[in-house]
Amino acid sequence: MEAANKKTGGVPVPQLKSLSDAFLQSIEATKGKVILSQYSDINEQGVYGDRWLIVTSKFIEVYVEKSTENYTLERSLSWDEVVEVNSQNLVGSGIIEATTENDIVPLLQYSNSYAREFNYVVRALSKMHALSETERENYIYRGISDSGKKFCEKCGRLIPEWTASCPACIDKGAILKRLLAYAWPFRKQLILLTLLMLGGTALDLLPPYLGGVILIDKVLGGKPENGRQILAMVVVGLFAIQLLGTLFSVIRGRMAAWLSASLVYELRKKTYESLQKLSLSYFDKRQTGAIMSRVVHDVNGLNNFLIEGVQYFLVQVLLLIGIGAILFSINPKLAFWVIIPAPVVVFLSFHFWKYIWKLFASFWHRNSKMTAVLNDSLSGVRVIKAFAQEDRELDRFDQRSRDLYNASVQAEQSWATLFPWLSFVLTLGSLFVYFIGGSDVLLGTATVGQLVTFMNYIGRFYGPLQFLSRITDWLTRSLTSAERVFEILDAQPDVVDAPEPIRLPHIKGDVRFENVTFGYDEHDPVLQNVSFTVKAGEMLGVVGHSGAGKSTIINLLCRFYDPNEGRITIDGVDLREIAQQDIRSQVGMVLQETFLFNGTIAENIAYAKPKATMEEIVRAAKVANAHDYITSFPNGYDTFVGERGARLSGGERQRIAIARAILHDPRILILDEATSAVDTETEQKIQEAIDRLVQNRTTVAIAHRLSTLRNADKLIIIEDGKIVEAGSPDELLAKKGHYYNLVMAQEIKSKAEEEKQHEQPA
Amino acid sequence: MSNQPKFGEIEYLNPKEIEFSYSSAGALRFTVKDRYSVIKVDIGCCFPLKSPNHFIWVKDTKNNELGIIESITDLDQASQKCVKDYLRKRYYMPNINSVSNLKEEFGLWYWETMTDRGSRNFVVKDPRQNIINLGQGRLLIIDVDGNRFNVDNYDLLNPKVVIMLDRLV
């Protein structure tokens, strides 16, 4: 399916597959209207090959593609034979199966590259199965709107997910322009900075000239009458240059430090502001570490580029031109011999740095791997000691340490070997000058001062050349950083307020789900056609196995995501129409995994109401059954909870979350497995706190332990994203369906646990 | 199935008493001789990377485990073939025999390979995360789509690829 592409410099890009019109027409002539066709890349023997699933109004068929004009029928099922069509996700691939009256028919296998497409196909097939042949003829298959991957329209490359546009085809000029726009508010300081840098560079160029041509030729060689006077002037000149250079350097350094910090501050603030506005779906698709790296490292990269990089580049170019001009003006013949090795210097520098960079990248990678092992073993030191696995951990560490040792030796030895050779080649240029310049001095066509000046300038001339050989690499790296930061700045939240949102400052609390279908990936629904109503002040219990879709209901109710189909209303108003601020300020949550921010217990309780009085905080903690244990800490409410609440137990954290919710005083309360993972006594305390909390509020509670839902007005039982049962707990028990089975199973389990406890000796 | 195993005990399937076959349509059928037959079962490896031929679980369509086969080689020849064919499909992890081209661009690794299941070009993002060193030169590579590839010993691939991988794993 993929072919190397000249436009992409040999990088393979996918080729879209399609069926020939003639073949489709031939099928339509005999098999009914073609509703959909989908390509698969695995053949019946399980090796890569071309196969097609073709669905018509009468048949579901699989064809093998021999060539673009030659297709062989492999399987054919009429719709009448099919009882059900399913897809099964395997490891690295998937399979579509059709169930018939007597058998299960594996239709075709596909690699994960086509998993999204086939999930859509299976959904369509399930819908089509319920239709008559005539209805199927009118069925329009829309296919997949977003394959989850983006390819560049220009070159066909896969576009990395950290950027919106192809990094290979991107208009570098446009990014550069946009990047420089961020420096625009600081333009005056930047111009001054550049002038100081140029001034400093110009001053830097003078000493070799003064010390060479002037001092040696004019003073020491010429022996003029006022020699001592000129000598003194030269020395004073050199002193003045040094002094001025130092002053320039100090001013420039101080200014660069200020500019750098200001620019980073502005950029980081903008990036963080943009991040906070984005919807949860943005964070679902990206790793926290990757986002952090953009806010920390990429922003720094941009700063280095704008503050140091651009000026450094200018200075290097001007140095090159300046020194070149001075050399040619002093002695064009000698200057020519200095220029000769320049291409070799550029070529060698380019490859040297490229090679060394890769070696050190490998060294850093191994270093981080060794650190990870160290971190692992230090964090898990109790487990290691408890299981007496010190030797094994030592081996593990030794392995990583040895890897690092090898990488370190390779990198350092390569550096130690190659750098002197690079320097050696660079000095070859000066040997030319020594020989030719020295000959000229002997012949009297050049002066000693000229030769010394040349020798001093040569080193400075090759420096910028080395820098310029790496300019593309440096520029690409900076622009890539810029792209990553811009991607955050440009990202648009999926969930946005309506243009004129309805304000609901006092929610009553009627909640209604109407035929809601939703999937985090649109093609893969987690909830299907879910409908229920909770009246203001009622408690709804949501019951189901893990992964059934319970937490998704909560995510939708908080409007972290919008439904794909159907709607959710609060007090009869569509959630999408209500100002998000009004929803979030009146919906409170107590989650299974309580997140506590760095700070004191008091600050964490008052998170949703920072201006809460001490009395309010203590009262909330009392209602949450948290007051007693908080006051037993030496620092009471001022106890610092530490990172992720490490010093508090699960039950203690949970009660802080309840106190937080109490203080928040939401109209709609969400409890997500709030009492799981705690012991029975703690559960009782939490349950008491929750019972107080839910009074007079609409509550949606998810619980694993069904006993905690005994006060619910209504329960819904979810299985595979669908409501399979609904009613009051008593109604559902009487019905002896799913809920009854779950309750019985839990009772048997808790009885068994009780008996086990009784059997244990005291 | 009649003798329910105690909690926590493994129910081994006696290789002499069981048979696997394919239905005419291609579903994997499981039979315990003289006792019962299941029209379609799913089988999988407990240790698909370390020991794909041992500890094979057998489940019915409702995800109930019917038992565990200790070693595929204990089964009769016909059953062995069925199980191996099925697992080959279930764990779609082509073995990379050679790499004709490997190119890195903007953090993405573009591979052109020949596998035991035909030629395949694919892209790997975050290579440090998605090229997993299983030890002794063996690699598990996961591409942008979630397809998996196995390399038995990367030292035997072409030298340019070895150098790139050496720096990574």
Q: Could you state, in order of their start, the residue ranges of all structural domains in chain B?
A: 18-90, 96-166
Dist CA B86 CA B23 (whole Å): 13
Residues of B in contact with A111 (CB under 8 A): 92, 145, 147
User: Is the Cβ–Cβ distance between B72 and B53 less than 8 Å?
Assistant: yes
Strands B138-142 and B148-151: antiparallel
pLDDT score recorded for residue A756: 67
Q: Which fold has domain A2-137?
A: PH-domain like (2.30.29)
Nearest to B120 among A48, A105, A359 (CB): A48
Set of chain B residues whose Cβ sits within 8 Å of the Cβ of A105: 25-27
Which residues are CB-contacts of A329 (< 8 A; sequence separation ≥ 6)? none
- The pLDDT score that the predictor gives to residue A572 is 93
Identify the band that residue B90 occupies on the pLDDT scale cut at 50, 70 and 90.
very high
Q: Name the interface residues of B facing A (CB cutoff 8 Å).
A: 23-27, 39-40, 42, 48, 85, 88-94, 101, 103, 105-108, 110, 112, 115, 117-123, 125, 128, 144-148, 166-168
Q: Could you tell me which chain A residue has the CA closest to the CA of B95? A: A47
Q: Count interface pairs A-B at CB distance under 8 A.
A: 106
Query: In Å, how far is A162's CA from the nearest CA of chain B?
Result: 10
Cβ contacts (< 8 Å) between A47 and chain B: which residues?
117-118
Q: Which residue of A has its CA nearest to B40?
A: A104
Residue for token pair 């020849």: B77
Instruction: Give residue A149's pLDDT.
Output: 63
Using CB atoms, which residue from A2, A95, A362 is nearest to B167?
A: A362
Return the closest-CA partner of residue B7 out of A204, A748, A246, A455: A748
Q: Give the number of C-alpha atoms closer than 13 A to the C-alpha of residue A455, restricted to the C-beta side.
A: 15
Chain B CB contacts of A149 below 8 Å: 144-145
Kindly report the nearest CA distance between residue A476 and chain B, in angstroms.
Answer: 9
Chain A positions touching B148 (Cβ under 8 A) are 91-92
Task: Please give the Cα distance from A631 to A294 (Å, whole number).
Answer: 42
R_g of chain A computed on alpha carbons = 37
Q: ipTM value of the model? A: 0.93
Q: Which residue among A88, A104, A361 places its CB closest to the CB of B25?
A: A104
CA distances, A126 to each of A62, A106, A299, A564 (Å): 17, 16, 49, 18
What is the pLDDT at residue A451?
86
Q: Do B91 and A91 touch (CB under 8 A)?
A: yes
H or E segment to which residue A436 belongs: helix A390-443
Would you give the DSSP letter of residue A7? G
Give CA torsion, residues A670, A674, A676, A677, to 10 deg.
140
Q: A173-315+480-491: which CATH number, 3.40.30.10, 1.10.3720.10, 3.30.465.10, 1.20.1560.10?
A: 1.20.1560.10
Asked if A112 lies within 8 A of B146 by C-beta distance, the reply is yes
**Residue A407 DSSP symbol:** H
Q: Which residue of B has its CA nearest to A46?
A: B89
Closest CA relative to residue A84, chosen from A108, A60, A64: A60
**What's residue A354's pLDDT?**
82
Written as six digits, the tokens of A15 are 């080729």
Using the predicted structure, report yes or no on whether residue B138 has a pLDDT greater than 90.
Answer: yes
Contact between A274 and A488 under an 8 Å Cβ cutoff? The reply is: yes
B119–A365 C-beta distance less than 8 A: no
Cα angle, residue A717 at apex, residues A712 and A722 outer, rounded to 5°: 140
Q: Report the residue of chain B nearest A365, measured CA to CA.
A: B168
Q: Quick one: which of B159, B169, B155, B140 has its CA closest to A403?
A: B169
Residue A63 β-bridge partners: A52, A73
Nearest CA in chain A to B27: A104
Single-letter amino acid, residue A756: K
A173-315+480-491: same fold as A2-137?
A: no
Mean pLDDT per 10-residue segment, chain A (762 residues): 49 67 89 92 91 94 89 92 89 92 90 87 89 89 67 74 68 78 85 86 84 79 77 87 91 87 87 86 74 81 79 83 87 83 82 84 84 86 85 91 92 90 79 86 86 83 79 77 80 83 90 91 81 93 87 90 91 92 87 81 90 91 88 86 64 87 88 69 76 84 80 89 90 88 80 66 47
**Spatial distance between the Cα atoms of B85 and B71, rounded to a whole number of angstroms:** 15
Residue-range domain boundaries for chain A: 2-137, 173-315+480-491, 353-436, 511-759
Chain B interface disruption, residue of A89, A111, A364, most B CBs within 10 A: A111
Contacts of A115 in chain B (CB under 8 A): 145-146
CA–CA distance, B4 with B11 (Å, rounded to integer): 8
CA A668 and chain centroid, separation: 32
Angle between helices A471-490 and A227-277 (to 10 degrees): 30
Given an 8 Å threshold on Cβ–Cβ distance, is A160 in contact with B39?
no
Provide the pLDDT for residue A523: 65
* CA distance readout (Å), A754 to A225, A478, A747: 114, 64, 10
pLDDT of residue A322: 86
Residues in chain A: 762
Residue A699: name the closest of A560, A606, A587, A593 by CA.
A587
Chain B residues in contact with A473 by the CB 8 A cut-off are none
The residue type at A395: D
Amino acid at A372: A
Sign of the alpha-carbon dihedral angle for B148, B154, B158, B163: positive
Q: A511-759 has which CATH code?
A: 3.40.50.300
Across the interface, of A48, A91, A160, the residue whose CB is closest to B90 is A91
Q: Which of A161-170, B45-54, B109-118 has the lowest mean pLDDT?
A: A161-170
Which two three-digit tokens encode residue A734?
């009487």
